[in-house]
Structure 1
Amino acid sequence: MLEVAGVTRRFGDNVAVDDVSFTVRPGALTGFVGGNGAGKTTTMRMIMGVLAIQSGEIRWHGHPATELDRRSFGYMPEERGLYPKQPVFDQLVYLGRLRGLATDAAKARTASLLERFELAGRGKDKLESLSLGNQQRVQIAAAVIAQPSALILDEPFSGLDPLAVDSMVELLREFADQGVPVLFSSHQLDLVERLCDQLVVLAAGKVVGHGSVEELRSKGGTRYRLVVDGDPGWVREQPGIRVVDSAGPGVLFELDGGDTDAVLRTALSRGSVREFTEVRPTVTEIYREVTA
């Protein structure tokens, strides 16, 4: 278990991270979302010990995380840190050896990862000669080269094409299935919704949402879509109903003490009902609501 417990970080008068707490469970993919300047990167840097924590602590398996603990974490920073003029294969082997792998094991692991990311033929190429998307793949390979005990990834999907995203998702799932806690930030909320076991939503340095997608959806309330033959304007006059949106024969509404059965009975008494559906909020809608 990786725990962020009440961490705070200030830069002068600016409180970048304000008493942030959350957990990343073993075997769980945790999405870390928030706008630019919300504090995600600063929090990840504190987890990795790159930035000092001014209050609170990072815990690993129940005890304060040590430098030795962090050496086993896989980290992909926001600002990529590989060597542009060094051949891809050589620097991955070098990084693997720095992480404690024997030379032969580092070479085998490097070859396997390059094959997986369809870069097997580019191992002798300098990093700077690759496209930005392929450089991103190499950066991901560097983060997982030494079978990390936890993964901390800052925008790992940035610049990847759809096939590379699928490959990355498969890789992260494999680590999660092995019991590795995985925390990653992303602005691609549709991907976060599809992939994550839990979410942490940050706004202005504070946690404003934390839980599974379903838990956050349940807090966001439920809406209903009604599509009828004719004008559904009468729904606005139903007691206990708040119309959110209306277009043509369709209307989206929320309950405010009202009864869906009563709405449906009224609709049927007026003519045909083409659709009557419960609509759960998406992660994008949840994000907009909790960060408003």
Structure 2
Amino acid sequence: MTFDVHAGEIFGFVGSNGAGKTTTMRIMLGVLAADSGQVRWNGAELDLQARRRVGYMPEERGLYPKMKVGDQLVYLAKLHGMSPADAASATEYWTDRLGVGARRGDNVEKLSLGNQQRVQLAAALVHSPNVLVLDEPFSGLDPVAVDVMSAVLRERAAAGVPVIFSSHQLDLVERLCDRVGIVRAGQMEALGTIDELRTTDRPRWLVDVDAEPATVLAWAAGLPGATAQPAPDRPQAVLVELDGATPGAEQRLLTGALALGAVREFAPVRPRLTDLFRHVVTAGDAEPTPPEGSGSRSRRARSEVAA
């Protein structure tokens, strides 16, 4: 499990249930010990002192249910080394910023799950961390809360903080993240920007020409190295897949389409992150699944956080 996260970057850490995301995050924070490898920060192994500067939001929420929100956040901030005055000031700021300022005097157990989630994020932010590691931070949030949390993560990244978060909401990951890592069976299977991950050796183009669809389909299917099929939900359009290694193939495609008639639409069709995710996590599913403890949830991790 090798990857790095840069200063000011939002990194999406995605994979199916049991892929190893939470295990990797726990190793980063020292909750679990790795069998081998290192977690590094600015070139040095991440030690206890450096971990005090990490903001961590666990998947299993770590709030004390019978403790008041404000008292709890002040307590947690002081554990990170803040003075009582600074802890109180930071608690007030983050609870207001995340929309739970009016609930500082309430016990956590009296809050809705969404508001508990906001308080949990405040707990990760209250000590102004140098790194944010968030495990499923958007789980159970309504759209307004998702917008608030997304804005906060962008702000922290803009301030130079590396942000790592896991999520099954792939549309949100695609919209929010600078880079994405897709994990399967404890290993990093795909890593890059959204554009890099969506780039394929066989680019596809949607071609909508003012001509008989059968004529357009027959013409496209006859192009060298191309395959063609009717476009889903677009009976007048054709989906053409080209050989990306052939220089100028898309220009010849457009020129040929114009010769058939007026081109109403000519656009690249690239896979969404959901499609990439489905392809990566189902690859090799015909093979037997390793039993628990044999590597499918290996605690081995070798990760680097670089800023």
Is 1:233 the equivalent of 2:217? yes
Q: How far apart are 1:245 and its partner, in Å?
A: 5.3
Measured at CA, do residues 132 and 144 of structure 1 come closer, stay the same or move farther in structure 2, by a change above 3 Å? same
**Residue 126 of structure 2 is aligned to residue 145 of structure 1:** yes
Gaps of 5+ in 2: 284-307
C-alpha RMSD over aligned residues? 1.8
Which residue of 1 is the match for residue 2 of structure 2? 21
- Which residue of the other structure, out of 96, 100, 106, is the alignment partner of 2:81? 100
Paired with 2:52 and 2:44, the residues of 1 have a C-alpha distance of 15
Q: How many residue pairs get matched?
A: 273
Q: In structure 1, what is the Cα distance between the partners aligned to 2:259 and 2:200? A: 33
CA distance in 1, matches of 2:76, 2:99: 20
* Contact 1:93/1:107 (<8 A) preserved: yes
Same amino acid, percent of matched pairs: 50
Of residues 71, 74, 95, the one that matches 2:52 is 71
- Deviating above 4 A after TM superposition, structure 1's stretches of 4 or more consecutive aligned residues are none
Q: d(CA) in 1 for partners of 2:19 and 2:105?
A: 39
Deviation at 1:147, TM superposition (A): 0.6
The range that moved more, 38-47 or 198-207, is 198-207
Aligned counterparts of 2:272 and 2:88: Cα–Cα separation in 1: 43
- Secondary structure at the residue paired with 2:228? strand
Q: Is the 8 A contact 2:13 2:183 kept in 1?
A: yes
Which residue number in structure 2 is paired with residue 254 of structure 1?
241
Residue of structure 1 equivalent to 2:266:
276
State the TM-score, normalized to the length of structure 1. 0.88
Q: 1: distance between equivalents of 2:81 and 2:143?
A: 33
Q: Which of the numbers 117, 131, 137 marks the counterpart of 1:136?
A: 117
Q: 1 CA distance for matches of 2:230 and 2:20?
A: 33
State yes or no: 1:207 paired with 2:194.
no
What is the deviation of 1:265? 3.7
- 1:118 partnered with 2:99: yes
Question: Distance in 2 between the 1:58 and 1:268 partners?
Answer: 55
User: Could you tell which deviates more after superposition, 20-29 or 225-234?
Assistant: 225-234
Normalising by structure 2, report the TM-score: 0.83
The 1:81–1:54 alpha-carbon spacing in structure 2 relative to 1, beyond 3 Å, is same
**Post-superposition shift, 1:68?**
1.5
Residue segments in structure 1 that go unaligned for 5+ positions in a row: 1-19
Instruction: Identify, as 1 or 2, the structure richer in strand.
Output: 1
